[in-house]
Amino acid sequence: MRVCVTMESSGRKTTGVLDPTMYTASMTAAVVLIVLAACADLCDGVTVVDVYRLVQYDLAGVPFGSRIAYLNHHAASSLFSPGSGGGAGIGGNSVTADLSRTVLILPLRELNLALIREYIGQRKILGGLLFLLPSIFNPENIDYEDGADQNPAKDVSWDILVELEQLLIRANIPFPVYFAFEQDNINAVLVDVKRNDVSGQPATATTGGYKLVVAAPEPRKLGSPTITNIQGWLPGLKADGDSNQLPTIAIVASYDTFGASPALSVGSDSNGSGIIALLEIARLFSILYSNPRMRGRYNLLFGLTSGGPYNYNGTRKWLHRFDQRLRESIEYAICLNNIGSSGNELWVHVSKPPDNAYVKQMFEGISSVADELGLNVGLKHKKINISNSRVAWEHEQFSRLRVTAATLSELSFAPDLLERTGGLSDNRHVIDESSLVQRIKLIAESLARHIYSLDGKNINVFADNSSLAVNPSYVRSWLDLLSTTPRVAPFLSRNDPLIMALTKELTEHTVDVNVQHEVLDGLFTFYDSTSSKLHIYQVASVTFDLLLLLALGSYFIILFSFLVITTRGLDDLISIFRRPPSRKVKSA
Amino acid sequence: MTVFHFFNCAILTFGPHAVYYAATPLSEYDTLGTSIKAAIVYLVTALVKLVCLATFLKVSESDSFDPYQELLKALIGFVDVAGLYFALTQLTHRNISQNHKFQAVGLGWAFADSVLHRLAPLWVGARGLEFTWDYILQGLEANANLILSLSLAALGSLMWLRKNKPKTLIPIIYTCAGIVATMPSILSYLRQGLGWQLPKVIGFELFTSLAMASISWQLFAICQRPSS
């Protein structure tokens, strides 16, 4: 049926009304009518856009995020109705239009964050919010245009996005909030909507405009979300005659993310960089350990943990599964976090005091290698507070069980809960590949020097251009994969392809790979419905149809009179309207 | 609101037929049976045309104007004329004057055409949320089609039912009938060959239908004068 086929998101519609092939189609009208009546809903809409919903979660029973998914309202583009002046304040001022049945389309570039903050803070009701993000934030948009102008730190929209994200995930918003990326079709719609707004006609049911519809079902709770930890071993070589258990060095990274939009939280830096570093180090050391004569006197334990944004819940459960002896045999653990963006500064965060012998030894090992590579590594000490449930760094979970641990990160201060956990602004373009490669080299080299007791000797284990060099293509291919895979833990099933891929990769390089499934602690509850399709309809108003009805009525009256006059004569027309009175006269 | 729009477009498409029936003496002489028979003849004609199109026409890939295909379609369009001939001459009508006969046949013809070609798209499309002008244009086209059908029926009745025609007028009658009969091909040429937009095409159709209607009215009046 030609009518259905021609409705597409290209925006131009031509219905072949006069097309001769309509003869053919109409001949089966009886059967087709029934079928078409059923599929009438499917053929509607001028523009269809992918949209992603703001996260909806409960923290200890307190609701956060956007609580509604269904959207069906008219579109507007600003918080004010025209004529009220651009700078009018909101508080108590009734000049702003009634927006409770309007969806605001707000592009990120023109966002007035203070206004949004006020609006959300005062818990005003909107029909909905649709944020338009520049396409550079689209996880599917990974092209390699490396250049100074791509440096995210210099772009203001990055900062605005980070702030917006933090504002949205900590607010309880009783209307739907969606994110979409700028495309030609939706940009054209926005231009039209702005023009309508300027001309002083807010869109309602009687004045036409655009209608945005997201037919999403009611969000349901995700019951018992699973978090999955993956571990692998590289066993060392015992010296002959030595019956003691070998010490273990643990390398840990959490792999899941959290952000304002779970379908877009790819977390390239938090913690994609950590995952890649862990996998590359596992690969390099598996090459070293494959030769029995090259095995060091240390076991290496690699752990990919989940539940990172939620106070490193997964790490805690993973550690509790170990028995006491194993935990005591861990000499130290290095946790990797946020090591991918450009810059020369790195920090080693510890909970044990810096003058502790182990901490000193570990830090000196790292800094000596760092000096050779031209990196600056600093030491930061943050005491842990057992009574406070907030766990800011992964190593704190180790420290609570009295295992020496440190976190290597480019962040200099501890992030708050749900901060820097891989949100909307954390995508491929934040990563500097050469920086990441250099830091992987730093970690691997300092580990190797410690394992093989090479301190002081002038040996470069993972030298460039050797067979043990850090492989940039490996880094890049994993980066591309992780930058297009959202990894919010409650939405990852037990057999999610990502988890299978990580397990397979670890199996290739390590032995005794163990996948452990845990249940996320009941403090966090999540809801589904994270992405949908938005349909944008251009609608005419009721007044238009009323006018049309009026016009048709007058047309018919004129047509009727014309036909009566020409075929029966004017007297007949008059007699149609005069008959009742003449009968009355007669009877009287 | 959109069912409202559907209602508006529906009465624009089908209303004039009802108004025509009510306004002219057709309703007084109760010629509904004739109209219904004409409608049935139209359905059969459309079926025959469909079979011919399916058999002889090849499906073209591009949307351009292919003269040979269009010629073939025009020839098949003359099946329409044959159908009208059948409706006017072969069907047994009640005793109604020629004047009313052609009107009733034309009306039934146009009504069947509207229902077949325009009801389905209207039902599917006009009820949706999305607003376009297409359905209003389609209604206007239905109006133009009504006028054209009436003109064609008038000319047809002049050609086949009236025996004493002034000799000078016969070629004019036949040319006008030819123009009206080939109207669909002309319109498709305008749309695809010249690339006219839909509103323009429908405006042209309305204009020519009114012109043709006035010409055929004049012709009919002239031919009626000797006998009256």
| Least Cα separation, residue A555 to chain B (angstroms) | 9
By C-alpha distance, which of A105, A99, A76 is closest to A186? A105
Q: Which position has the higher pLDDT, A52 or B30?
A: A52
Residue of A17, A44, A547 best to disrupt the B interface, most CBs of B under 10 A: A17
Q: What is the mean pLDDT of each run of 10 residues along chain B (228 residues)?
A: 84 90 76 84 88 76 67 76 80 71 86 90 81 86 90 83 74 82 80 80 89 85 66
- In angstroms, the separation between the Cα of residue A256 and the nearest Cα of chain B is 41
pLDDT band at residue A480 using 50, 70 and 90 as cut-offs: very high
Looking at per-residue confidence, does A25 or B160 come out higher? Answer: B160
Residue B11's pLDDT is 92
Pick the range with the lowest mean pLDDT from A174-183, A205-214, A232-241, A506-515.
A205-214
The alpha-carbon radius of gyration of chain A (Å, integer) is 33
Q: Are A345 and A370 in contact (CB under 8 A)?
A: no
Average pLDDT, chain A: 82
Verify whether the Cβ–Cβ distance B132 to A548 is below 8 Å.
Answer: no
Please, which pLDDT band fits residue A19 given cuts at 50, 70 and 90?
Answer: low
pLDDT band for position A88 (cuts 50, 70, 90): very low
How far does A545 lie from chain B, in Å, by closest CA? 6
Q: In the structure, what pLDDT confidence band is assigned to residue A144 with cuts at 50, 70 and 90?
A: low
Q: Is the pLDDT of residue A556 over 70?
A: yes
> Torsion over CA of A538, A541, A545 and A550, rounded to 10 degrees?
-140
Say if residue A323's pLDDT is above 80: yes
> Which whole number is the average pLDDT over A16-26?
53
Nearest to A267 by CA among A484, A43, A18, A456: A484
Mean pLDDT of A416-439: 89
Which of A4, A8, A9, A15 is best to mutate for the B interface (most B CBs within 10 A)?
A15
> Closest approach of chain B CAs to the CA of A561, in angstroms?
8
Tokens 């970690």 -> residue:
A443
> pLDDT value at position A152?
52
Q: What is the pLDDT of residue A81?
A: 53
CA dist., res. A85 & res. A489, Å (int): 46
Distance from CA of A50 to the nearest CA of B (A): 19
Is the pLDDT confidence value at A34 over 60? no
Q: Among the listed ranges A88-92, A351-355, B169-173, which one has the minimum average pLDDT value? A: A88-92
Question: What pLDDT score was predicted for residue A202?
Answer: 60
pLDDT band at residue A397, thresholds of 50, 70 and 90?
very high
pLDDT at A388 over 90: no
pLDDT surpasses 60 at A44? no
pLDDT band for position A149 (50/70/90)?
A: very low
Write out chain B residues lying below 8 Å of A37, CB-based: 123-124
Chain A residues near residue B83 by CB distance under 8 angstroms: none
For A537, the closest of B4, B121, B129 (CB atoms) is: B129
Taking the CB of residue B63, how many other CB atoms lie within 10 A of it? Answer: 11
More confident residue, A99 or A36: A99
Cross-chain residue pair A40–B47, CB shorter than 8 Å: no
Q: Which residues contact residue A555 at a Cβ distance below 8 angstroms, ignoring those fewer than 6 apart?
A: none
**Higher pLDDT, residue B182 or A581:** B182
A23 pLDDT above the threshold of 70: no
Asked whether the predicted pLDDT for residue A16 surpasses 50, the reply is no
The pLDDT of residue B199 is: 85
Amino acid identity for residue A358 in this structure = Y
- The yes-or-no verdict on residue A368 having pLDDT over 80 is yes
Instruction: Report the residue from B22, B123, B187 with minimal CB separation from A33.
Output: B123
Between A32 and B181, the more confident residue is B181
**Chain B within 8 Å of A37 (Cβ-Cβ)?**
yes
Q: Could you tell me what percent of chain A has a pLDDT over 90? A: 42
Over range A299-327, report the average pLDDT.
92
Among the residue ranges A186-200, A350-364, A404-418, A570-584, the one predicted with the least confidence is A570-584
Interchain CB contacts (distance < 8 Å): A and B: 129
Strand partners, A107: A132
Which of B12, B24, B127 minimises the CB distance to A552?
A: B12
Question: Under a CB-based contact definition with an 8 Å cutoff, are residues A254 and A488 in contact?
Answer: no
Q: What was the pLDDT predicted at A84? A: 40
* Residue B124 to residue A40, Cβ atoms within 8 A: yes
Contacts of A577 in chain B (CB under 8 A): none
Which residues, 6 or more positions from A115, have their beta carbon under 8 angstroms from its beta carbon?
Answer: A79, A90
Chain A residues whose beta carbon lies within 8 Å of the beta carbon of residue B4 = 542, 545, 549
**Crossing angle (nearest 10°) for helices B98-125 and A29-39:** 30
List of residues 6+ apart from A45 with CB closer than 8 A: A7, A9, A535, A536, A537, B129, B130
Instruction: Specify the pLDDT at position B169.
Output: 78
pLDDT at A223: 83
pLDDT given at position B126: 75
- Residues of chain A in contact with residue B120, where contact means CB-CB under 8 angstroms, are 1, 25-26, 29, 32-33, 36
DSSP string, B85-114: HIIIIIS---S--HHHHHHHHHHHHHHHHH
> Any CB–CB contact under 8 A between A538 and chain B?
yes
Residue contact B24–A213, C-beta within 8 A: no
The pLDDT score that the predictor gives to residue B3 is 85
Closest partner residue to B130 (CB to CB) among A23, A44, A561 is A44
Q: Which residues of B touch A7 (CB under 8 A)?
A: 130
Give the residue from B6, B9, B49, B129 with the most A CB atoms within 10 Å of its CB, the best one to mutate.
Answer: B129
Calpha distance B125→A146 (Å, rounded): 48
Q: Residues A151-166: what's their mean pLDDT? A: 77
Residue among B20, B121, B131 minimizing CB distance to A15: B121
pLDDT of residue A96: 55
CA-to-CA distance for A544 and A355, rounded, in angstroms? 80
- With a CB-CB cutoff of 8 Å, which residues 450-469 of chain A face chain B? none
Taking the C-alpha atoms of residue A541 and residue A204, their distance in angstroms, rounded to an integer, is: 8
Please report, for residues A246, A292, A299, A301, the alpha-carbon distance to residue A238 in angstroms, rounded to integers and kept in the order given: 7, 10, 10, 16
Residue-wise pLDDT for A280-295, tens only, equals 999 999 999 998 888 8
Local confidence band at A252 (pLDDT 50, 70, 90 cut-offs): very high
> Is pLDDT larger for residue A585 or for residue B147?
B147
Using alpha carbons, select from A337, A339, A289, A322 the residue that is nearest to residue A451.
Answer: A289
Closest Cα in chain A to B114: A26
Q: Which of A25, A205, A548 sits opposite B8 (nearest CB)?
A: A548
Rounded CA separation B142/B114 (Å)? 6
Q: What is the pLDDT at residue A89?
A: 38
A122 interface with B at CB cutoff 8 Å: no
**Residue A55 banded pLDDT, cuts 50, 70, 90:** very high
**pTM score:** 0.77
Q: Which residues of B are less than 8 Å from A33 in CB distance?
A: 120, 123
- Picking from A155-169, A383-397, B68-82, which range would have the lowest pLDDT averaged per residue? B68-82
